Structure 1
Amino acid sequence: MKGILGRKLEMTQIFSESGKLIPVTVIEVEPNVVLQAKTVEKDGYKALKLACVKKRANLLNKPDMGQFKKINSEPKRFVKEIRDMDGYEIGSQVKIEDLFTSGQFVDVTGISKGKGFAGAIKRHNYARGPMGHGSGYHRGIGSMGAIINRIFKSKKMAGHLGHEQVTIQNLEIIKIDTDKNVVLVKGSVPGPRKSFVVIRENAKGKKAAEASVLLNRQSSNSSPKKEADEVIA
């Protein structure tokens, strides 16, 4: 399992060679530093602890600062483990171009936008009641099972919406810009702007080999047109 940490910047759009408009999410992926390499013999599972994005030293406590001093690295803001990943030593850098290529499909995990307290219609897509003819029921939750005088657990009710971990699977990598440390992913990813995300190898669906065959087939059948290379001003 390959993975890397990044930060969502914004959404934009580019044009393919055939002239098709593609909505993309711009993710800033700086070279990650390896803080720790966990093994099955010592920790019970295999993983790499990665870190990215600079952070002021006065914002860290002593245990966290000790980890970065051990590898002679400046403090980082976002630290996350990638399970079943190896091949890197402590203190080495993980770059996006070494893991993924254009046309590959990945899974992106992030924390979704927080919506606060929301009703059942917005939170669970319930239908509203009639709005006229003297109806006293408009956006209420409806029957709560009053016959048995109790409410079962997991009943879909009003409550906190958003701000939870969400994974979007099988997102295609449209372009990797190594000069600007930016990757363009087709579609939307969870979270607001400047939120941290984890890009992993896709767990199911289209694999890299199938994606390359599909891209070659599309490029051979498409007519060449102007492509928008300048994505970020």
Structure 2
Amino acid sequence: MNGIIGKKIGMTSIFDGLGRNIACTVIEAGPCVITQVKTTETDGYNAVQLGFGEAKVKNTSQALQGHYEKAKTGPKRDLVEFRDFDVVEKAIGDLLKVEEVFKEGDLVSAVGTSKGKGFQGVVKRHGFAGVNDATHGQHNRQRAPGSIGAASYPAKVFKGMRMAGRTGGDRIKVKNLRVVKLFPEQNLILVKGAVPGHKGSTVIIEK
């Protein structure tokens, strides 16, 4: 599985050859440093570990500092492992750029952490309609969840009941996003559609 680590910049739109306006997410993808190469002989499986983003030495453990020194690079903010990576001619310490992994027209998956929205009610969290008709004796019930369980049997609320709670902040994977355009000089990749996360958040692009 080939992939790269990036940072979500924001959204824009471009026109295709037919004059259609396509909403795209702009991602600063790489360059990533190969910090470790795992093989079947040494680790039991084949994988490539990539590092992205700069981190301070004082915030990095000594164990990780030694790990980065082996790759002849500084501390990185994010480390992600990709199994069965196809780019086999790369070695530890080499840079991996976006144009070496993707090309325009590829279908990719985007993995990120969705925006955290805090504690929310059922209307916002689960899309409940609420009581739209405020007449007929309704009093402050427009956005209430309603009944959540039965009576003396089963005398409990089942797991998974859609109720109010913390919303967002989950790891989300969006599949089958098309690479619309690459800008190798700026390490930018334009992906059709929305990608989870806020501006500046870390995104993993894989295919």
- Deviation (angstroms), 1:40: 3.1
- Deviation (angstroms), 1:45: 2.9
Partner of 1:155: 161
2: CA distance, partners of 1:151 / 1:24: 42
Partner of 2:150: 146
Say if 2:62 is the partner of 1:62. yes
Deviates more, 1:23-32 or 1:85-94: 85-94
Partner of 1:15: 15
Partner of 2:185: 179
User: What is the TM-score with the length of structure 1 in the denominator?
Assistant: 0.82
Say if 2:182 is the partner of 1:192. no
User: What is the TM-score with the length of structure 2 in the denominator?
Assistant: 0.91
Deviations 1:39-66 (CA, angstroms, capped at 9, x unpaired) = 3343333221111112222221211111
**Amino acid paired to 2:73:** S
Partner of 1:35: 35
**Amino acid paired to 1:143:** S
1: CA distance, partners of 2:22 / 2:183: 17
Deviations 1:85-105 (CA, angstroms, capped at 9, x unpaired) = 251322222211111111111
**Amino acid paired to 2:117:** K
Deviates more, 1:168-177 or 1:138-147: 138-147
Say if 2:174 is the partner of 1:168. yes
2: CA distance, partners of 1:155 / 1:43: 42
Q: Is the 8 A contact 2:48 2:81 kept in 1?
A: yes
2: CA distance, partners of 1:122 / 1:46: 43
Partner of 1:226: none
Q: Where does 1:117-128 land on structure 2 (aligned, <5 Å)? A: 117-128=119-130
**Amino acid paired to 2:178:** E
SS at match of 2:134: coil
1: CA distance, partners of 2:44 / 2:72: 27
Deviations 1:130-154 (CA, angstroms, capped at 9, x unpaired) = 4223213321211122322211111
Q: Is the 8 A contact 2:4 2:30 kept in 1?
A: no
- Deviation (angstroms), 1:21: 0.9
Partner of 1:209: none
2: CA distance, partners of 1:44 / 1:122: 45
1: CA distance, partners of 2:182 / 2:73: 26
Partner of 1:133: 136
Partner of 1:103: 105
2: CA distance, partners of 1:31 / 1:188: 22
**Amino acid paired to 1:172:** R
2: CA distance, partners of 1:181 / 1:37: 23
Q: Kindly, what percent of the aligned residue pairs are identical?
A: 40
2: CA distance, partners of 1:83 / 1:161: 31
2: CA distance, partners of 1:64 / 1:50: 13
Q: Is the 8 A contact 2:36 2:71 kept in 1?
A: no
RMSD, matched Cα = 1.4
Off by >3 Å, runs of 4+ in structure 1: none
